[in-house]
Amino acid sequence: MEMYEGETLSITITGHSLGAALALLVANEITTRVPEVPSVAVFSFGGPKVGNKAFGDKITAQGVKVLRIVNSQDVITRVPGMFVSEELEQTIRNSKIGGVLDMFDDNTPLAYSHVGAELRVDTKMSPFLKPDADMACCHDLEAYLHLVDGFLASNCPFRANAKRSLARLMQDQSANVKKLYISKAKALSLNLERQGSFSMSLERQGSFSMSGCLPSPS
């Protein structure tokens, strides 16, 4: 704020897993302790519940904008809490007995709850990941970024023109990638290696250079 004094500023904090929880705590710390703080936003990936409802209300009242990116198959996003499944909890809240949960929130200040708006992605929507991908894959940051890249809207097919490279996902989560794509990826990788060798010889001649990353099939 001192370095860019006089300019219109904003602060964006992001994190994954434990980092997502810390991002919320940092946002709370900044907006509580820093006078005349600029607008603060939090983007969290695969984060657990951090505080109770009073904490969430405090964050909101301080003007912090929070977007939680949640994978439906990621169990980390469901804890700690009374119900393991967020979907079940939301169904109950929308039912005739939803008032019971509201009463539980009011009378049990230690009950954990999420903060901010939710962007829900789903491993099963990816044409490249196995629908039964394991727990580690469903919580993996690269898998999250892959799912966000292909997100159009809830219950919509994976975006056909998604452009994020799948090289890192192939490297870290190859066991959870569909076999059909693995064979295609190997062919792509081989072609890229050949093209890379060709481009290196041309690069020495000052002609051009090309990236060696593995592109999305689209």
- Known catalytic residues are 17, 74, 139
* Cβ atoms within 10 Å of 132's Cβ, excluding its own: 10
Yes or no: say if 45 and 76 are a contact pair by the CB < 8 Å rule. no
- Which residue type occupies 163? K
- Tell me the two tokens of residue 197: 């060798």
Cα Rg for the chain, rounded, in angstroms? 22
> What is the residue-wise DSSP string for the chain?
--TTTTS--EEEEEEETHHHHHHHHHHHHHHHHSTT--EEEEEEESPPP-EEHHHHHHHHHTT-EEEEEEETT-GGGG-SSS-S-HHHHHHHHTSTTHHHHHHHHHH-TT-EE--SEEEEE-GGG-SSB-TT--HHHHH-HHHHHHHHHT--STTPPPPTT-----HHHHHH-GGGB-HHHHHHHHHHHHHHHHHHHHHHHHHHTTS-----PPPP--
Biggest alpha carbon–alpha carbon distance for the chain: 74
